[in-house]
Structure 1
Amino acid sequence: MQRRTRIAAVTAALLITPGAAGSATASGQGPRQHHGHEAAALTGTAKLYRSAGDDITFSFDAQLAAKDTRTPTKATGTFRFRHYLHGEGAWARAKVDCLITGGKVAVVSGVITDSNLPGAEGARVGVTVHDLGRHDRLGYSWAATEDMGPRDLPKCVSSAPFEKVRQGTGDFHVVPWQPAL
């Protein structure tokens, strides 16, 4: 395996980490529920399935206000993620800078504001969620950005939702964006 590929793989593994659910739970604030005031929203928490037993959690509280429906880059909120295996790993929290949804699929991006992974703060990351009820799926930008550093990642860019959510843990909720065209 090339050195660059190995570094990207290790970074991706560490970047999928603990701030996600831990911060929301620790602060006593879970994701907000949709109340019809948003043009689009992504909320919820889920653990990813990994046969090796990795503890990978993603949590979202992102919304686009109705007044900003024509400008997805005015989305607000946070998302968190963590990835641990055998007690080692990392976590990160990102401030949302873009949210686009369509049907039951959401793409959200943000800049990492806090993490225990050295050098992660300031990097932009993107996540895609497919809200399938009990069978939600998820993808993330760092799965496909070996040649493009995360700091150069455009807003609202991610990968297809290729990861499976661990059964019984997914509660993602996507509010579809319906801008007047």
Structure 2
Amino acid sequence: MLVTAACTPRVDEPPPPALLDPWLTRALACMPSPEQPGVPPPGGFLTCIFHEGDVTCEEPYLDRHVFYGGAEDGRGCSECGCGELKGASCTIMASVYSDGACAEQVASTLVSSMAPFCGVTPPGIALGSKSAEVVAVDPGGCAPSGGEPLGELLPAEPSTFCCQA
């Protein structure tokens, strides 16, 4: 009779995923100089109004740009598991003795969990003792399951720049 235990998955904690910035857009906000009111911003800059959060822009500042101060990492993996255990086996050396101290051996044979076996003590000899020694063990294996990626990286901490076109 083959007795097998359930196969349990070994789960190695993966390193935390890199916190990539998929938005790749940056903003630099500057205050106008009090000495130069009404002077347009230098080349490459826009005149904008800053708002915390993701807001709608109003006239005359309709050129809307949303930036994020961080990200919410909701990524992970599905639970790992194992399928049915396959290939497990063991082999023992089974011996019988005529005395009670396992000293006078009558018969000895290899018995495997992979093949049916029915052993009989030779006729006319009383069984005094018996022994079994494990010769080989193959724990078998199971097909892995799970570990699929779940979730996503989402933008967080939005700020809105409403700019003049």
Asked whether the two chains share a fold, i.e. TM above 0.5, the reply is no
Q: TM-score range with shorter-chain normalisation?
A: under 0.3
Higher helix share: 1
